[in-house]
Amino acid sequence: MALLVQKFGGTSVGSLVRIEAVAERIIKSRRQGHDLVVVVSAMSGETNRLIAMAQALSPEPDRRELDVLLATGEQTTIALLAMALKARGQPAISLTGDQVRIHTDHRHGKARIEHIDTTVINQALARGQVVIVAGFQGRGPDNAITTLGRGGSDTTAVALAAALKAEECQIFTDVDGIYTTDPRLEPKARRLEYIDFESMQAMAALGAKVLEVRSVEHAGRHKVKLRVLSSFAEHSAGTLMTFDEAAPQGISGIASCLQSVLVTIKGLTANSEQARRLLEPLGDAGIDVDILCSTDDASNGLVFTVPLGDFGQALPMLQASAAAMGELDVLHRQDVAKVSVIGNDVGIRSDIATITCGALSDKQIEARHFLTSARRLTLILAQQDMVQSVRILHQTLIGP
């Protein structure tokens, strides 16, 4: 009898029929003797519906009030799921982030969890109830409703698993685990039974959409055992993220991302104090920056990517800093794709770069930028070469 935290995302609870299927699945886990804390997202489409209402009233809706609005999405799901469980005779109780006491900082729309009070949850578990918690939301310092940033419900699940010292944090999604690459790009992609934490972190950061990188990092800090499972395919054990030093060596997968903007700032090197000052505001704004230039390559300048969705916010920040530093030019292009080979032996196998470049140049594919580090090898390519590159690298490095 273990305590499990299970998280079901928006697609998994996307309709009343799906909510009933999730209820059945929870009851099966319960019959296996587990104590369960279940975190749910808003039903798929609901958050977008709410945002559209807010934007009809104001192009930039007040952030405090937007959180009050968005929090209704998860509140709806917890109520419906708890009802579905109780209608099946399974004792259950729904709790909002506020009711649990998921204390966050004050940053509406991208709040960080500071402390979780486990009292209410533990009391409910002791009564034999399945505890259904609204993901993505918490209570700010002034008792305002806050919502977490990207990956919000995953973050809630991981934070609860850490606070409750749960045996596993199971993330149910629409795929049955972490694959060696996106199966939509390469049908021969294989599910991994295990993945080590650092490779998972790189996969999430570099394009795998299954888990948000902040949730993976959160799990890493608290050594939470994360398992990715399908809420649709019942008989797959999914992928377990391990912290084991004895994790199998090898290449975990090929990640890819079409939604990056490549930025170059000539005359700066990555390790410089100026680079740090230039990029700091982006970090403060929660924008992920992936630095690509090697530190000894001053002629290329500072080269990095920014997610396309954040670029509108990032560009004025970069231009302001660059202007203040002596009229540095900020060059950027959006017609690029990023493909990364990820694994815990990428950094120690000197042949991987050679194999990768050879396999691509055989097909006349040229990389514009190229970075290797301990667990990754990242290429910047023309967008139209992305899918073919993923398939060539998967076949060459992972197998036919």
Place of tokens 């990056």: 260
Please say which residue, 60 or 273, places its beta carbon nearer to a second copy: 60
The distance of closest approach from Cβ of residue 157 to a second copy in the complex, given in angstroms and rounded to an integer, is 20
Tell me if 96 is assigned to a ligand binding site: no
Please say which residue, 86 or 349, places its beta carbon nearer to a second copy: 86
Partnered with residue 342 across adjacent β-strands are 253, 376
The distance of closest approach from Cβ of residue 92 to a second copy in the complex, given in angstroms and rounded to an integer, is 8
The distance of closest approach from Cβ of residue 139 to a second copy in the complex, given in angstroms and rounded to an integer, is 10
Tell me if 47 is assigned to a ligand binding site: yes
Task: Kindly report each contact of residues 360-366 with a partner whose C-beta sits within 8 Å and lies 24 or more positions away, as own/partner.
Answer: 360/389, 360/392, 360/393, 363/388, 363/392, 365/389, 365/392
In 74-152 the beta strands, taken as DSSP E runs, fall at 92-95, 102-104, 113-116, 130-134, 137-139, 145-147
Tell me if 10 is assigned to a ligand binding site: yes
The Cα–Cα gap between 398 and 154 comes to 29
Tell me if 7 is assigned to a ligand binding site: yes
Residues that bind a second copy (CB under 8 A): 16, 19-20, 50, 53-54, 56-58, 61-62, 64-66, 68-69, 71-72, 75-76, 78-80, 82-84, 86-87, 93-94, 96, 98-99, 120, 143, 145
The Cα–Cα gap between 310 and 240 comes to 31
The total number of residues shown for the chain amounts to 400
The two three-digit tokens of residue 167, written as one number: 């045996």
Task: Tell me if 346 sits within 8 A of 376, measured CB to CB.
Answer: yes
Partnered with residue 148 across adjacent β-strands are 111
Tell me if 194 is assigned to a ligand binding site: no
Is the CA virtual torsion 99, 103, 107, 110 positive or negative?
negative
Tell me if 173 is assigned to a ligand binding site: yes
Tell me if 149 is assigned to a ligand binding site: no
Please say which residue, 90 or 215, places its beta carbon nearer to a second copy: 90
Tell me if 210 is assigned to a ligand binding site: yes
The distance of closest approach from Cβ of residue 132 to a second copy in the complex, given in angstroms and rounded to an integer, is 9
The Cα–Cα gap between 201 and 188 comes to 23
The distance of closest approach from Cβ of residue 134 to a second copy in the complex, given in angstroms and rounded to an integer, is 9
The distance of closest approach from Cβ of residue 79 to a second copy in the complex, given in angstroms and rounded to an integer, is 4
Please say which residue, 68 or 298, places its beta carbon nearer to a second copy: 68
Please say which residue, 66 or 386, places its beta carbon nearer to a second copy: 66
Please say which residue, 65 or 105, places its beta carbon nearer to a second copy: 65
How many other CB atoms are found less than 10 A from the CB of residue 268? 22
Query: Which residues are known binding-site members for substrate?
Result: 47, 74
List binding-site positions for ATP. 7-10, 173-174, 179, 184, 209-210
Annotated binding site: 7-10, 47, 74, 173-174, 179, 184, 209-210
